Structure 1
Amino acid sequence: MDQIRFLIVRFSSIGDIVLTTPVVRMLKQQVKGAEIHYLTKKRFSSLVEHNPYVHKVHVFDGDLKQTISDLKEAEFDYVIDLHKNLRSARVKSSLGRVSFSFNKLNWKKWIYVQLKIKKMPDKHIVDRYLETTSLFDVKNDEKGLDYFPDPEYKLDFSLEKTHEEGYVVAVLGANHATKQIPEEKMVSWLNEFGKPVVLVGGPDESTLAELLKEKLAVPVQNACGKVSLDGSALLIKNAKVILTPDTGMMHIAAAYKKPIVSVWGNTTPQLGMYPYMPQNSDRFYMAEVRGLKCRPCSKIGYEKCPKRHFNCMLQQDDKIIVSQLNYYWNLNE
């Protein structure tokens, strides 16, 4: 059987890499003889190391010249660029192979953010990623995202008896403050919801998690900074419902087909990176404050609200969010 060797390029970050997994799976399953290689930054390599559809992970650790030299030895047939920046362009030009890149729609994003004129297509970024495979007649299997933890990983985090009958994961981590759920909102929603909580995030969220733990009137366990990414993923996998801002953890939850209440601040789902569950679109709710003239103020985020009011989060409808949490919790009863 003739082998077709693909290199998929996506350097970062957690959510963006998880969003590329349908391309990996479908190429492997639908293209006869496909051998999938993946190029990413070292700090994110664990996200693809245990993916059964990936033959080999190539790591970029700061020395692009050496990385390219190593890649040349693999003699790829095709390069699929799902990052599309100067670094990935250099990889493509240096390898000299037939390559495909997705359209980042940067001009349309700029118009949407700066002028608030929506020219973005009603198409999820995963479906735009998949356009790079059209030459190979790949069809969307609609199985959604994948997340494969290390099969040897053992979760070193014991659930208390209060959590044994179920819990909600509240995700604290977001790269920018204007994406994060405000402390007072998180406390209000979770207290009203009244179910056991596991707080998930990185070491940077540990202090916030302890503050929330003091203010919450429900059973709370803090996993922030206490478990690895795989540990957070497994806590999400075993939860009844996920409460999260626009984060990488939201996409991991979608990979596990978990019920999700996603809360949107300065970014919007219309940018095309909302939970991707084509066969389970009823399992996520996107809470956003519609009609704000200042939103979206960025396609990424800021350290503080440029308008100083943060209405995109502070004016969220408390009753609807708690109602959705209850609805998804009861789906599992």
Structure 2
Amino acid sequence: MDKGLKILVIRFSSMGDIIYTTPIVRCLKQQLPGAQIHFLTKPAFKYIYDNNPYVDELHLLKGSLSDTIDEIRAGQFDYIIDLHNNLRTALIKLKTGIKSSTYKKQTVRKWLSLKLRLKLVPPTHLVERYMQTVSFLGVKNDGLPIDYYIKANHTLQQLLPPSHQQNYVAFIIGATHFTKRMPNSKIISICRQINHPVVLLGGNDVKANADEIEAALGPQVYNACGKTSLDESVFLVSKAKKVIGFDTGLTHIAEAFNVPIASIWGGTVPELLGVQPYQVKDAQVIGVELPCRPCSKFGLEKCPLGHFKCMNEIPEQEVATFANNL
């Protein structure tokens, strides 16, 4: 392969989808001698590639798409690797005229799989799907985990009380949509069966939930929701003995540190999107087989049938046994 290629990789959102682009960027940089690898994303997701040694320059989507296109034209790239495949990336490729390779979303197959409850999409991980986009360059998957680089030198002593600084279980209780999150009563019941300190992680959107869980469980639980920055939360995940989490970005970021993970799924399923835990030695994907599941690709604000069995019937003992086996 020619040396010195200048390549722009594009993925605008979301957190989990961008996290899974990191092996592709790493393989491009390491396997193409002299290549310059640039990455374009939304400003909100800049933090995912901060400090990443495999990116020569990080570009942020501007308010005007035409301004972004002008910047890309000026960059004189040899290739665009489009890992998003939407209208904006189509316009970028059309207007710049740069040679490109585009991720195949299998939109129709996913829609039919969801509506007809058929398994029409192979359970291939998203990383492998992305990797097909760069295979024309002779780039192959190195089989290593995703990359995430913590930004600051945090310590457990700064972030946790003494009672929770050793052998703690990180329980990530946040997720964007209701059908991805477990009810508080269920979380409380599981935590009561865990024999180790539990640290609750999530943003301000689940702080009220965490307050209720903490009030029910007392000193066994430390509530870090809304108290720690994302970078601090990632650090706490990286130092945990076990991680329990739902289909949310922080759970996916945890995969970068090869911490044992119990990944719990409600109304969504990992096979459809290809986002089951990637290159984690000790990972369990936990979900309930139901005729109504999955009810959506990305989650809903309420259970369409009202019973929410996909979360209410999660086997508590399975989760607790995972957490207790340190």
Give me the TM-score of the superposition, normalised by structure 1: 0.93
Long gaps (5+) in structure 2:
none
- More displaced stretch, 109-118 vs 61-70: 61-70
* 1:154-233 superposed matches below 5 A: 157-233=158-234
Residue 296 (1) aligns with residue 297 (2): no
By how many angstroms is 1:180 displaced? 0.6
Question: 1:2, 1:33 within 8 Å by CA — same for their partners in 2?
Answer: yes
- 2-side partners of 1:299 and 1:109: how far apart? 8
Residue 247 (1) aligns with residue 245 (2): no
- More displaced stretch, 58-67 vs 241-250: 58-67
- 2-side partners of 1:110 and 1:241: how far apart? 34
| Alignment partner, residue 237 of structure 1 | 238
Change over 3 Å in CA distance of 1:61–1:186 after alignment to 2: farther
By how many angstroms is 1:151 displaced? 4.4
By how many angstroms is 1:285 displaced? 0.3
| Alignment partner, residue 306 of structure 2 | 308
| Alignment partner, residue 276 of structure 1 | 278
User: How many residues are matched?
Assistant: 324
- More displaced stretch, 213-222 vs 174-183: 213-222
| Alignment partner, residue 109 of structure 2 | 108
- The match for 2:315 among 303, 311, 317 is 317
Residue 287 (1) aligns with residue 295 (2): no
- More displaced stretch, 202-211 vs 238-247: 202-211
- Residue aligned with 2:118, SS: coil
By how many angstroms is 1:155 displaced? 7.9
Change over 3 Å in CA distance of 1:324–1:15 after alignment to 2: same
Identical pairs, percent: 42
By how many angstroms is 1:43 displaced? 1.0
1:238-269 CA distance string (max 9 Å, x none): 11111101111111111111100111101112
| Alignment partner, residue 58 of structure 2 | 57
- 1-side partners of 2:121 and 2:186: how far apart? 30
- Residue aligned with 1:262, SS: strand
- 2-side partners of 1:156 and 1:208: how far apart? 25
Poorly superposed stretches of 4+, deviation over 6 Å: 152-156
Question: 1:198, 1:221 within 8 Å by CA — same for their partners in 2?
Answer: yes
- 1-side partners of 2:15 and 2:155: how far apart? 21
| Alignment partner, residue 94 of structure 1 | 95
- 1-side partners of 2:155 and 2:68: how far apart? 32
Residue 257 (1) aligns with residue 258 (2): yes
The letter of the residue matching 1:43 is A
| Alignment partner, residue 130 of structure 2 | 129
Change over 3 Å in CA distance of 1:318–1:23 after alignment to 2: same
RMSD of the TM alignment (CA)? Answer: 1.6
By how many angstroms is 1:22 displaced? 0.4
| Alignment partner, residue 45 of structure 1 | 46
The letter of the residue matching 2:286 is A
- Residue aligned with 1:189, SS: helix
- 1-side partners of 2:248 and 2:182: how far apart? 11
Question: 2:243, 2:260 within 8 Å by CA — same for their partners in 1?
Answer: yes
Give me the TM-score of the superposition, normalised by structure 2: 0.95
By how many angstroms is 1:61 displaced? 3.6
- 2-side partners of 1:178 and 1:123: how far apart? 23
- More displaced stretch, 242-251 vs 155-164: 155-164
